[in-house]
């Protein structure tokens, strides 16, 4: 049951619904002058068990990416560091650090919106999951609400450049 929306949403048909929730998290980051990336973690029943947005500046923590914040919350909710039945929705393709953490947590599925041509580790720059030596292979889906996810990032950096005079 997707408690925050009040009606059941299956993971298969709910990708856009869940990505919209991740976009809401990205907007929170935007409002805090953080790079606007948001993530949510969903269980098989469609319940959100973790959510987060970039907090690296706010927390003075280079590991406080949206995925890590959401993953920590989900692990606390599940009372386990292994999260094999969960799906992560994130607005931007995970970096090496985040895909590493998600892999170690044994996340079942990662769904992301916008590709990251600079640090993406799910196919854009690197494809960590393609390495046969890694013992857990998470399913990865991309492009869900990709335009909307890319738009919030473009707007943020446009405003940032405008504000810096560059």
Q: How far apart are CA 39 and CA 41, in angstroms?
A: 7
- For 119-137, letters b (16+ CB in 10 Å) and e give ebbbbeeeebbeeeeeeee
DSSP string across 68-125: HHHHHHHHHHHT-S--TT-EEEEEE---HHHHHHHHHTT-SEEEEEE--TTT-TBTTS
Active site residue 93: no
Find out whether 74 and 51 touch, Cβ atoms under 8 Å: no
Out of 67, 78, 93, 148, the active site residue is: 67
CA neighbours closer than 13 Å in the CB half-sphere of residue 74: 31
Q: Are 116 and 93 a contacting pair, CB within 8 Å?
A: yes
Q: Which residues are catalytic?
A: 67
């Amino acid at each position: 049951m997707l408690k925050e929306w009040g009606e059941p949403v299956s993971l298969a048909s709910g990708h856009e619904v869940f990505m919209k929730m991740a976009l809401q998290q990205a907007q929170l980051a935007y409002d805090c002058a953080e790079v606007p990336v948001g993530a949510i973690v969903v269980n098989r029943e469609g319940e959100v068990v973790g959510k987060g947005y970039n907090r690296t500046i706010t927390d003075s923590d280079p590991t406080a990416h949206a995925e890590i914040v959401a993953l920590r919350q989900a692990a606390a909710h599940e009372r386990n560091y292994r999260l094999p039945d969960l799906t992560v929705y994130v607005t931007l393709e995970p970096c090496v650090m985040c895909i590493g953490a998600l892999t170690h947590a044994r996340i079942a599925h990662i769904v992301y919106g916008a590709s990251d041509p600079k640090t993406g580790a799910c196919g854009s720059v690197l494809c960590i999951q393609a390495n046969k030596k890694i013992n857990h292979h998470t399913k990865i889906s991309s492009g869900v609400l990709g335009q909307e996810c890319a738009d919030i990032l473009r707007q943020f950096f446009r405003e940032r450049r405008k504000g810096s005079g560059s």
